[in-house]
Homo-oligomer: A and B are copies of this chain.
Amino acid sequence: MYRIGIDVGGTGIQSGLVDEKGNILQKVSIPTRLDLSFEDQIAALAESLRNLISVSGVTEDDIHSIGIGIPGIADQTTGIVIKCTNMNWHFLPLRAELQKWINKPVYIDNDANVAALAESVAGVSAGTDSSVFITIGTGIGSGIIINGKIWSGAHGVGGELGHTIIRLDGDECTCGNHGCLERYCSANAIIRMAREKVASVPDTLIMKKAEGDPAKINAKIIFDSARENDPLAVEVFNYYIACVSQAIANVINFFDPEIIVLGGGVSKAGDFLLDAIHREFPQYVLFNSLPLPKVVLATLGADAGIIGAAMLG
């Protein structure tokens, strides 16, 4: 039997045929079309799934289940998407709508949860009992795995590390609260920190790489400049690492998983980022003379969305 995993994103919807071991055998993708109605978007998705099945040389009878990772939350019992801002889906019956076209069990979960599951089944945290996956991109998402299963909380509202408060009365977040962790630990956060600094100290490698335009500063430019020992970039990088390390220590001090996996766009900075975090985070853990969780980089990359979704079944 095979499973289908679907990774719903703001620009595209990728689907894959996945075997029992978590290998992707075939992939298809369609663009996300916010101009379509929900029903038409799902009809287009169903058509792409039929293509996927057809090009894979299997039949619908070979499909065990369909899993969908969404950048939002869903009611696991009813299969209704409760909130998925990027897709403009609010209280919509995703499972029922898809089952009109393909009558298979359909499972839906948050994309960070799904990536956490993928890494714990077929990625860097495979074989561990408990893990926390933190995806560091434009924002911050997280997923908790306990005893091999996604823990999305007793009411399905957990796993939102990005919206825990890490600075009381801090900067306003897009969610309306102040001081959310993603305001200090996301890619957007380090970009904002750099832009604030270059306003008063424009003579920096960061600005050279950004062609003199602060709007062109991105996380990679900052990391690259820090790697080249540009003093301002190093200052921004070090503060950002302190913030991310305190976020990681918060997870350890409260929950202490076996392993913490870092994914998302920022994790592409690789060992330069990870080594700095390894030097920094233990000082923020209360009982840091004991063995601590491993902190590692995700290994499945963008495929985690498809693999993890397939594993929901």
Contact = CB atoms under 8 A, between A and B. Distances in A.
A142 B254 contact: yes
Contact of A250 (B144, B157, B165, B288): B165
Nearest to A258: B154
Interface stretch (A52-60, A98-106, A167-175, A296-304): A167-175
A120 to B, nearest CB: 13
Interface string A143-169: 010100001111111111101111111
Interface in A115-154: 129-130, 142, 144, 146, 151-154
Interface stretch (A15-23, A194-202, A279-287): A279-287
A119 to B, nearest CB: 16
Given A165-B284, A166-B168, A284-B165, A159 B290 contact: no
**Main DSSP-derived SS at the A contact region:** loop
Interface in A177-195: 177, 179, 184
A114 to B, nearest CB: 17
Interface string A255-290: 111100000000000000000000000011111111
Interface string A13-47: 00000000000000000000000000000000000
A290 B166 CA distance: 23
Contacts of A146: 146
A166 B166 contact: yes
